[in-house]
């Protein structure tokens, strides 16, 4: 599995059960603020990236039946928000790995392939490993002519053209031991959100309350209280990211997501 993780991560780099917990309905402003935190504590006028090309997914796990279930669910989630799936042979742009001792493997991978990922990857990995133990997500954005990743620039939506700067690869690594006992739908929905959308380093997310909705992103932080699938807001965020024009401001995406999620919560 260690070698498989290295191979699949390199591909991305070069391809540049339980019932859901009841969700209380916070007010829309609070929900929008939660959304900005969920997306990485972004500013409201920050343009959010999304997967540029059709999905070409690889799920690597020793349990092939589990891998197949997770893959089917992720593909369905992508189709639901309008992102097509490539059929037949394709170069992977999204990889999910259930790995033995994920933290150690990621550190070794960074040491072996630091020149592939570069200093931005290394810095992000150091920050994540200081706070996370079970689930890790990395996204690769297309480079602009000056060599700066587009994900690190604020951009006006009107200046982004179809096929322009956006996410071109993503990798989610889940510790195999931490995944034990979790339902495939939970694993797939967690991975879907982290593969296809900007998400926060998980230690920065506040606990759910009346002012903030619960999220599938809490799966490894509080598995006993985590939802059985993506919540209304999780799904509304993902859908809004792909339904609105490419590079839309975070405030526009969260405004739509909040409206959709609140409408869904109405009896």
Q: What is the pLDDT of residues 173-182, one digit of tens each?
A: 999 999 999 9
Element (H, E) at 98: strand 94-99
> Where on the phi/psi map is residue 60: left (φ > 0), alpha (ψ -120 to 50), or beta?
beta
More confident residue, 2 or 255: 255
**Amino acid 15: pLDDT:** 44
**Per-residue pLDDT at 23:** 46
The string of pLDDT tens digits covering residues 48-61 is 999 999 999 999 99
Can you name the residues that pair with 55 across neighbouring β-strands?
Answer: 85
Q: What is the mean pLDDT of residues 159-168?
A: 53
pLDDT, greater one: 125 or 175: 175
What pLDDT, in 10s, does the model give residues 181-211? 999 999 999 999 999 999 987 666 665 544 4
pLDDT at residue 75 tops 90: yes
Least confident of 78-87, 147-156, 254-263: 147-156
User: Quick check: 143 pLDDT over 60?
Assistant: no
Of residues 265 and 175, the one with the higher pLDDT is 175
The model's pLDDT over 4-46, given as tens digits with 9 standing for 90+, comes to: 565 555 555 544 433 444 444 557 888 888 899 889 888 888 8
The better pLDDT of the pair 47, 2 is held by 47
How far is it between the farthest Cα atoms of the chain? 54
Give SS3 for 138. strand
173 sits in which H/E element? strand 167-175
What is the full DSSP assignment across 224-237? TTS-SS--HHHHHH
The predicted pLDDT at position 182 comes to 94
Q: Return mean pLDDT, the chain.
A: 77
Other CB atoms within 10 A of residue 107 CB: 14
CA separation, residue 151 to residues 66, 95, 120, 125, 143 (Å): 32, 19, 11, 16, 9
Per-residue pLDDT, 160:
33
């Amino acid at each position: 599995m260690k070698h498989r993780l290295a191979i699949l991560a390199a591909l991305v780099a070069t391809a540049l059960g339980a019932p859901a917990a009841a969700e209380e309905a916070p007010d829309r402003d609070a929900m929008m603020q939660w959304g900005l935190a969920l997306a990485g504590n972004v500013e409201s006028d920050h343009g959010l990236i999304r997967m540029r090309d059709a999905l070409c997914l690889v799920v690597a796990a020793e349990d092939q039946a589990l891998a197949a279930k997770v893959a089917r669910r992720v593909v369905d989630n992508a189709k639901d928000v309008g992102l097509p799936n490539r059929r037949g042979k394709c170069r992977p742009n999204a990889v999910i790995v259930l790995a033995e001792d994920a933290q150690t493997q990621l550190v070794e991978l960074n040491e072996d392939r630091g020149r592939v990922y570069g200093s931005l990857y290394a810095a992000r990995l150091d920050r994540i490993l200081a706070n996370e133990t079970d689930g890790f997500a990395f996204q690769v954005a297309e480079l602009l002519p000056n060599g700066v990743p587009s994900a690190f620039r604020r951009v006006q939506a009107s200046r982004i053209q179809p096929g322009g700067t956006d996410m071109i690869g993503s990798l989610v690594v889940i510790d195999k031991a931490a995944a034990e006992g979790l339902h495939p739908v939970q694993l797939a929905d967690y991975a879907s959100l982290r593969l296809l959308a900007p998400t926060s380093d998980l230690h920065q997310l506040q606990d759910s309350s009346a002012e903030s909705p619960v999220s599938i992103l809490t799966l490894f932080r509080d598995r006993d209280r985590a939802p059985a699938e993506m919540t209304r807001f999780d799904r509304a965020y993902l859908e809004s990211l792909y339904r609105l024009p490419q590079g839309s401001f975070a405030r526009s995406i969260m405004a739509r997501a909040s409206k959709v999620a609140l409408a869904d919560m109405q009896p």
